[in-house]
Structure formats: C-alpha cells, structure tokens
Structure 1
Amino acid sequence: MSNSPTAKVLFRVPDNDGGATVETLWAIPLGDDRYKLDNSPFYAYGVSWQDTVLAPTDAQEGLPTFQSVVAKSGNRTVRVIFDPPVSPGNASDQVLQGLVALGCSYEGANPKYMSVNIPPGVELQAVRAYLVQHQAQWEHADPTYESLFPDEA
C-alpha cells in the first residue's frame, strides 16, 4: 500500500445463495467519489490493484460503495488456493515464488489463499500456462473467465 491518505471502498460480491459477500478494499480518495484501489481483491471480480473506481458513499453502509470502474490500471488479478498452505521452501511456496519470478506480486488472505497481481508488462497467458503446468487451483478474477471466454460461460 502507498503512504497516501486511504479510505475503504465496499464491494458486494453476489454469492450462489442469493446473498452477497462483503469485501472492503483500501483505496486512495481522488475526489468526486472516485478512488484508486490500493490493494488486490480477494473476492470482488472485474477490478484490480490501482484501478480507479466510482464509489459514492452509501448512507446505509456508511462507506464509499463500488458502483463502476472509471479507469483500468492495466493490472490483472488471479486468485490461487494452495494445498498445502504456503510455508518457506515447500511446494506451494515454490509455485508462488515462480509467479514472482514471472513478474507478479501477491497478497495473502492467509497461507492458503492468495490474490496475485499480474502487472501490465506480464502476459496473462504466461501466468495461466504456469498455473496449469503446476496444477494449481486458481481462478480468473480480473478479467473474469466469462469475459475472456464468453462462448464457454
């Protein structure tokens, strides 16, 4: 995260039961209800680190609440579940360090669940191929699988 003033932006992520998971992401206020995301999403789809979003304050929530993406940063997000959990030197750590060697960065919700940032200069296909090659359990978060493969969704 940066050293700029920060706020939390609320995201409601629909679940399969008709409810929603709430996620709040750190963000830098830009004015006019716009925020630059300052961490990677663990649950939200279609947004990545440093994207600019429109998030007017919701009176009920008491927080800026995601409405739309204003500008994409060029970063992309995949999420990986590691089994066994990542610990120094184990097979999961080696896969994670391989992603770093490709040019990615990551944030961990816990030692099993990582949000991986793919910067603009790194090919998404190279990261996908690496994860498939290492039989990782992962998902597309931004871009979503549905947006990449609309005929298969």
Structure 2
Amino acid sequence: MSSPAGPERPPRAADRIKVWFRPAPREGRPPYDTEGLWATRLGPDTARVDNAPFLQDGVAEGETVRFRTDADGVHWAVGRAAGSGNCTVRVLPLPDGPLGRDAGAVHERLAAYGLTGEVFSADFPLIALTVPGGADLRGVKELLARGRDEGWWHFEVSCVTDAWRAA
C-alpha cells in the first residue's frame, strides 16, 4: 500500500527515539523529575508515543507529540500534536489486598478489555496501562472501581478522551 508520501514501511531503528517529559511532582509518586517515553519519529519535530507513561499526565500511547531537540541531542516534549483515542490508566495493587503485589494478577483481570501495559518494577508494581479507544470503556471503568472498592488496587486515570468521560 502506498501513501502520498511514498510506500509505507515499518519504522527503522533510526526512527525510534526517546522523548522526554517533565511531569509535575505529586505526592505518592516515585521521585523523578523526568520521564522518557519511546516514540517513533514522524517528522523533524514530531513523534508517535510507543508506550504508556508512568508519570506524565495528559498523554497516551499512540499520540503524536511535538518535541524540541536540545544542544545535547535530547528530545524534549513541548506539546501534543494529535490524540490517539487511547487513554492511560495507572494501577497499583495493594500489598495487603487479595492480589498482593502481583502485577500479573492485575493484568489478568483487565486482559479481557484489550488493555496493554508494563510494570514499573518488582519492588514498586505500578502498572501503566493503555486503554484502546475501541475498548468497552464502561466495563473498564466499572472493573477499576470494583477493584478499588474491594481493596485490590488504587488507580488513577491520567489521560482521558471524551469517549471515556461519556462512558
């Protein structure tokens, strides 16, 4: 398949960059003042985010961000250029809850909704999840609330869409 810009091709390793964000500090979060997200370069100052953020609010996997490259070659996010329709949710299993610190158990409960993500670390099992725009958003929200209410986890929604708000 071709596009006006030429034939489509998979991203090359050279297209893969790290875009850095400066998340606002918040109580209860790991004490980091920057977060680097993998991204695929789309143009001289734009890239598509390739993973869910653990710290940065207002961005989700698949979104296009604008960046500026500093004198050291570091790519700093300066804003969002296009949304992806995805949402970002972070879940932290409660150590004394029925799931313990088992990030895998959290993934198992949410897998039916097509959520993907990654775990911060074994010592701090915070899970950053991408909620696809086409997922059963009402079902995801209900399960997240149920897990909170039943002592499975704490969660926060850090990037939402109008569809999420309406669900």
Same fold (TM over 0.5): yes
Q: What is the CA–CA distance in structure 2 between the aligned matches of 1:13 and 1:95, rounded to whole Å?
A: 25
Give RMSD over aligned pairs: 2.5
Report the counterpart of residue 91 of structure 2 in structure 1. 80
Q: In the alignment, does 2:147 pair up with 1:134?
A: yes
Q: Which has the larger radius of gyration?
A: 2
Kindly report structure 1 stretches of 4+ aligned residues shifted beyond 6 Å.
none
The TM-score with structure 1 as length reference comes to 0.79
Q: In the alignment, does 2:133 pair up with 1:120?
A: yes
Q: In the alignment, does 2:119 pair up with 1:108?
A: yes
Q: CA deviation at 1:53?
A: 0.4
Q: CA deviation at 1:94?
A: 3.3
> How many percent identity over aligned positions?
31
Report the counterpart of residue 94 of structure 1 in structure 2. 105
Q: What is the CA–CA distance in structure 2 between the aligned matches of 1:23 and 1:94, rounded to whole Å?
A: 26
- Once the two structures are superposed, what CA deviation does each residue of 1:87-109 show, in whole Å capped at 9, x if it has no partner? xxxxx533321211122111111
Q: Which runs of 5+ in 2 are unaligned?
A: 1-9, 95-99
- Once the two structures are superposed, what CA deviation does each residue of 1:75-95 show, in whole Å capped at 9, x if it has no partner? 111001112211xxxxx5333
Given the superposition, is the C-alpha separation of residues 37 and 4 from structure 1 closer, same or farther in structure 2, using an over 3 Å criterion? Answer: farther
Q: What is the CA–CA distance in structure 2 between the aligned matches of 1:24 and 1:140, rounded to whole Å?
A: 19
SS at structure 2 position matched to 1:100: helix
Q: CA deviation at 1:25?
A: 0.5
Q: What is the CA–CA distance in structure 2 between the aligned matches of 1:105 and 1:16, rounded to whole Å?
A: 24
| Cα pair 1:95 1:134 within 8 Å, conserved | no
The total of aligned residue pairs comes to 138
Q: 2:19 aligns with which of 2, 5, 9?
A: 9
| Cα pair 2:38 2:51 within 8 Å, conserved | yes
Amino acid in structure 2 at the alignment position of 1:85: R
Q: CA deviation at 1:125?
A: 2.9
Report the counterpart of residue 40 of structure 2 in structure 1. 28
The TM-score with structure 2 as length reference comes to 0.73
Q: What is the CA–CA distance in structure 1 between the aligned matches of 2:106 and 2:118, rounded to whole Å?
A: 14
